[in-house]
Structure 1
Amino acid sequence: MASFQKLPSGNWRVLIRAKGHKAISATFSTEKLAKAFAKEKERQLEEVKATGRTAAPKGSTVAHYIDDYLDYIQRGRTLQRSALFIYRALKKRFGKIGIERLSKSHLDSFIDDRKKEGVQGQTIAGDLSLLSSVLRYCYDSKHLDVDPDLADKARKSLKTSHKMRIKSREVECVPTQSEVDAIIAVFATMKRQQIDMPKVIRFSLYTSMRQAEICRIRIEDLDMENKTVIIRDRKHPGEKEGNDETVPLLPSAWEIIEGVVEGRTSGCIFPYNPKSVSTAFTRAKKPAGVARPVRFHDLRHKAITDFFGLGLSVPQVALMSGHRDWQTLKRYTHIKATDVHAAYNALDTKQQGAKNVDGQLALILQQLSELKSSQA
């Protein structure tokens, strides 16, 4: 079924012919890779024969089936704009490739290019996850002769190295208080700055909210009595919509809210574009003398670390930050050895104070008992 040919360049070409299917041709750097490819393709062809799968119509491309999948999926629900944006980018990247010709080499090249652009592994994995949904749709619903796990395999191969890289970057780039103060001071000199960045920065530090959440919270969702606010459609790994969450606003954050609202009864509390907030923060770093690659999002890391420093528990911090599990939350904490000593000393002082109170109470009770005995 498969034939192999060594080319003048030293590469190996494999040609696979099967009845009822278009001939498959591919070129590899070694004979071993060519034979491995042929073995896998022959397995897939046998599966097609057994399951009744069909070849894609002539001229069918990845773009065609991305559109087909979006038409199918949006009959039951509305996709977020971010997902639609990614699908448009995937069409631009892979759109002209025949759906059955999409291969591991295409995805490897895609991953390499995205890394060169400075895109983080988690974002690349998200792109591949959406592409995987399209391939799974082609396999399960359209019964096409495609590898439904192609993008998923590429995504999983990326996962481990990505986590290690992200962890080291976050530890390095948590902003210090002096860096934050320097950046805030820069905005005090910008007379034309339309965004009140000092208040936005401080509010982020007092709440650990994401910049998109800060720019989305509304006056109507404030609870003046309980000093809380509802974050609508909060980011969630399994729920894209309807994930509303009521979070407390600590005194420092509530003080900022009162100053910003100033009698307004509706609308966004911070009516700014999240991207503009991020851009303004980044531009202020140079005049502030901050050389490290600190981002606005890194304020969230500092806020969560500060919450633990105040003595808040994991569930309490998780409510503030919106995290669903400790494994995710701990990536945002940056507790040092000195923090542990300080927390222990504070706890020890508190316990000693409690012991003193208990001793004083016991003494008072004893004196009362003696007084009653003398009166009797």
Structure 2
Amino acid sequence: MATIRKLRDKWQAQIRLKGIKPIAKSFDKKSDAVNWVRVTESKVTLGTFVDPRASDNVSLSKLIDLYLDRIRQQGRESKPETSRLKRLGRVLGDVSLSRLSVYTLSGYRDQRLLEANPATVIHELSLLTRLLRLAGTDFGIPLPQGVPSIRLPKMPCGRIRRLSEDEEQRLFAAAKSDPEMHDIILLAMECATRRSELLSIEKTDVDLDRRTLTLRKTKSGLERVIPLSMVALEAIQRRMSDGVKVFNLSPSVVSQRFAAISKNAGIGGLRFHDLRHEAVSRFFEKGLTTVEVAAISGHQSLSMLQRYTHIKPEHLVKRLDTLVKVALA
């Protein structure tokens, strides 16, 4: 049952239906109130009505706190994700979920692009979109208008930095004075693992008989099992001493030591993460399929895998020569 009445200078519409709390809304025009009643009653009848009051009373900061509490209990918290959530909370935290419109989010996007690169903004907006979906599916706070869909910035071209044979030799020669970093660098190039994945490896994650390594703390949150080359297996075996973890360095220490090793080797413009790009490119050069490479690297989309892959032209020349020889044989 619905009632519409004049209240001061507004028209107030109220709907009372069995099974839901009374719903009321004020309008400047009576025709708008009548239309709202008709649409809302229809949604209730069809079972598609979402009460906006739940999302009205929950701010983005509150939703972020709920999410962080959950992943901490599950042991899945990661520093990059927490950092992005804190950034979103500082700017949009006071906004109620029902008011997170396309206009609000596109404004955040445009302002953020003035101070951060597109890849950073894409990560933040993708995380926010996932969080808003979880509001309805996991926390019982559905959004009346659904999750806002906004245009993401164009992804920049992937960073291209391949190691030459000479650079690789100099890098490992310089790393001999730091045996633990030597093996960390070797594994990054053999397994295409991220720094955080390498440093989270525990000895129970290594299956020496099957020559596999289980990565439990990954960027995507999905556990994956990767193969170990004999070189990688030997590196891990050298680290299987006392303690739970295979490596006992912090991420910042790894970055600092890697920078020092690169400098001592006379190599410029090389980041630790470039070793992952190098490994992925080498997998393709060795003839592995896209599915096989993705299974090792953990990439969830072909587009992201392509950004990581930079096959050397000289390798393609050799590949073409081989194909020609096979065709002429």
TM bucket (normalised to shorter chain) is: 0.5 to 0.7
Residue 251 of structure 1 is aligned with which of 227, 230, 241? 230
Query: 1:207 touches 1:320 (CA, 8 Å); kept in 2?
Result: yes
SS at match of 2:53: coil
Match of 1:108 in 2: 106
Query: 1:114 touches 1:124 (CA, 8 Å); kept in 2?
Result: no
Gap runs ≥5 in structure 2: 1-9, 14-23, 29-33, 45-49
Match of 2:255 in 1: 278
How far apart in 1 are the matches of 2:111 and 2:266? 31
Residue 211 of structure 1 is aligned with which of 187, 195, 198? 195
Q: Which has the larger radius of gyration?
A: 1
Residue 21 of structure 1 is aligned with which of 21, 25, 40? 25
* Structure 1 position 225 matched with structure 2 position 209: yes
Match of 2:133 in 1: 133
Q: TM-score, normalised by structure 2?
A: 0.68
CA drift at 1:103: 3.5
Match of 2:152 in 1: 158
Match of 2:43 in 1: 51
What pairs with 1:241-320 in structure 2 (closer than 5 Å)? Answer: 241=222, 243-245=223-225, 247-261=226-240, 264=241, 267-282=244-259, 290-292=267-269, 294-320=270-296
SS at match of 2:214: strand
* Structure 1 position 80 matched with structure 2 position 79: no
Q: RMSD over aligned Cα, in angstroms?
A: 4.4
Query: 2:55 touches 2:98 (CA, 8 Å); kept in 1?
Result: no
SS at match of 1:21: strand
Match of 1:123 in 2: 123
CA drift at 1:23: 7.2
How far apart in 2 are the matches of 1:113 and 1:273? 33
Query: 1:62 touches 1:97 (CA, 8 Å); kept in 2?
Result: yes
Shift in CA distance, 66/114, structure 1 to aligned 2, threshold 3 Å: same
Match of 1:169 in 2: 158
More helix by share: 1
* Structure 1 position 339 matched with structure 2 position 315: yes
CA drift at 1:342: 1.0
Residue 183 of structure 2 is aligned with which of 180, 193, 199? 199
How many equivalent pairs are there? 295
Query: 1:215 touches 1:274 (CA, 8 Å); kept in 2?
Result: yes
**Identical columns (%):** 22
CA drift at 1:202: 1.9
Q: TM-score, normalised by structure 1?
A: 0.61
CA drift at 1:280: 3.9
SS at match of 2:282: helix
SS at match of 1:173: coil
Amino acid at match of 1:209: T
How far apart in 2 are the matches of 1:228 and 1:132? 37
